[in-house]
Structure 1
Amino acid sequence: MMLFLISFFAGFALSASLIVAIGAQNLFVLRQGLKQEHVGVIVLFCGFSDAVLIIAGVSGVGALASALPALSAGLTLAGALFLAWYGAKSLYRAAHQSSMLAQVDRGISLRQALLAVAAFTWLNPHVYLDTVLLMGAAATAQPPSARPMFAAGAASASFLWFAALGYGARLLQPLFARPRSWLILDVFIGCIMFTLAGFLLWNGLMHPFLARS
């Protein structure tokens, strides 16, 4: 029993340390939480997606994924393009301050929200590095019988984090009652998205090319 608890908290701690960082997915969940728009569905989607990837990593799929560089390159390019598009959209929103409140009030549909969070989740190569490869490698240090508990702990951290981020965002709503706060947030999101897109292209495409030359 003690072994299972240790494995559970080992997975929980590792997952928490990886997920609590400024990233595209977290920023999207935060923004939707501030708007109180489709929060429950988005939180569940993110949590279940991480759970699927963590289970895949613990099950040994990471070794197969690392042997498919073409798949990694394709995901990197698609992810960078999506991040750049979303960053441009955020900066456009910030540049048109007069229509900002109308956009915030109008919001997006559930379908649009799901498509966006799916892209942020599944087109991000780093999520595979963290959940499939790194988590899978860490799970090998656990006894085979305790690895399901390791995966359960890691998945629990993801669910807890996304729930806290999505539903905890409402505590910041008094601050975001002012249009200028949305302006600053959108500029910040836009800059982060372009930065992440640049890092993806450099690390995923340019860096391996330079390493071979």
Structure 2
Amino acid sequence: MGIAYDAPIGLANLFVINAALTQTRRKSILTTIIIIFFDVTLAFACFFGIGAIMKKFAWLQLIILLVGSLIVIYMGINLLRSQTTDISAGDSELTLLKTITSAFVVIWFNPQAIIDGSMMLGAFQVTLPQSSYPLFIAGVGIASILWFIILDLVVSKFKDKFNAKVLRIINLVCGVIIILYGGKLLFNFITLLIK
């Protein structure tokens, strides 16, 4: 279940892939650890009830959808506008604070991750006996750790195969996907607002 929660290509995966391609090995691993931390904390929150809170307060869901969609669109536009440099040079401009802030936004301000995680993990919570909660959520956390570390290692291993032109194409494709994803979230917000 943990792999099913993390494996679909989403913002967190794109964040880890981009870090593995553009940052030094040390920064890439640090970025992956930060993503894992926020991903696991979101999984815990989803499992133990953030979805129930959002269902109870429709206005909260609307706020999360609106703010999240605008942030996601903004991130996609920034990715489209970013200039690609030589991959081997690493990314010296990304500070630890900016990495933490971006990772937090990618995970916790992503309404689709909150909604999907709440539905997927919250649904499992209902079907499990309470005594198995710790084992289940620990398994989800371990799967998250393994998934993101393996993703980072594989992309880092083969990043020499990418030149600046290929990386620019990857950034453009990812940027467009992220903008479309944000647009879908914004459309969901408008649909809910109209109802």
- TM-score, normalisation: structure 1: 0.80
Counterpart code for 2:30: V
- Verify: 1:32 aligned to 2:19, yes or no: yes
Q: Distance in 1 between matches of 2:46 and 2:67?
A: 22
- Verify: 1:158 aligned to 2:144, yes or no: yes
Counterpart code for 1:131: G
Where does residue 182 of structure 2 map in the other structure? 197
- Verify: 1:184 aligned to 2:169, yes or no: yes
Where does residue 206 of structure 1 map in the other structure? 190
Where does residue 42 of structure 1 map in the other structure? 31
Equivalences, count: 192
CA drift of 1:58 comes to 3.1
Counterpart code for 1:87: G
Aligned partners of 2:2 and 2:143 also within 8 Å: yes
- Structure 1 vs Structure 2 CA RMSD: 2.2
Where does residue 175 of structure 1 map in the other structure? 161
- Structure 2 residues without counterparts, runs of 5 or longer: none
Aligned partners of 1:16 and 1:157 also within 8 Å: yes
- TM-score, normalisation: structure 2: 0.87
CA drift of 1:61 comes to 4.2
Return 22-31 or 83-92, whichever deviates more.
83-92
- 1:120-147 deviation line (CA, Å, top 9, x unaligned): 1111012212323320111221111111
Aligned partners of 2:38 and 2:103 also within 8 Å: no
Q: Distance in 2 between matches of 1:61 and 1:86?
A: 24
- Structure 1 residues without counterparts, runs of 5 or longer: 1-13
Counterpart code for 1:35: T
Aligned partners of 1:49 and 1:121 also within 8 Å: yes
- Verify: 1:71 aligned to 2:60, yes or no: yes
- Verify: 1:92 aligned to 2:77, yes or no: no
Runs of 4+ deviating beyond 6 Å: none
| Candidates 120, 126, 136, aligned match of 2:122 | 136
Where does residue 124 of structure 1 map in the other structure? 110
Aligned partners of 1:90 and 1:190 also within 8 Å: yes
Q: Percent same amino acid among aligned pairs?
A: 26
